[in-house]
Every structure is written in C-alpha cells, then in structure tokens.
Amino acid sequence: MGQARFRLQTEYEKLYVELTTKKEQLFAQGDPSKWGADPTKLRMIPKEQLFADKALIFDLMLPKVRNHNF
C-alpha cells in the first residue's frame, strides 16, 4: 500500500510540474488565444489585470488538461 501511494504521489507531482511549466510557457508567449481558457471568462477580465494576476490566469488555463489529469 505504501509503495502504491508513493508512486501515485510521485506521478502527481511530475504531472503538476509539467502542467505548471506548460502554463508558464504559454503565459510568457502573451497570447491568450493559446491558453485554452474559456473566451467568455477571459473577456470578463480587464486587460490590465489579464497579465497582472498570474494565479487567476493559471486557474483558467488548460481546463481540459487540468480536469483530466487532476
């Protein structure tokens, strides 16, 4: 049981790092159309806040990947 839990935890951490790295790269490109976020939600965020609140944007980015893997 302990080894299985350790493997799952390790796999989760690996996927989390990969997803975060991908989000960082997409954010750095500065093109919201490539973020995979719901366009309606993105339009609701003021332009000046769009690149100022990284945590908010990361939460909206790649929702299919996030929900599928986590």
**Residues 18-34: tens digit of each pLDDT:** 999 999 999 999 999 99
Give the Cα separation of 28 and 45 in Å (integer). Answer: 18
pLDDT at 63: 87
pTM: 0.79
**Residues 5-64: tens digit of each pLDDT:** 999 999 999 999 999 999 999 999 999 999 999 999 999 999 888 889 899 999 999 988
pLDDT at 18: 94
Could you state, in order of their start, the residue ranges of all structural domains in the chain? 2-69
Whether the Cβ atoms of residue 63 and residue 38 lie closer than 8 Å to each other? yes
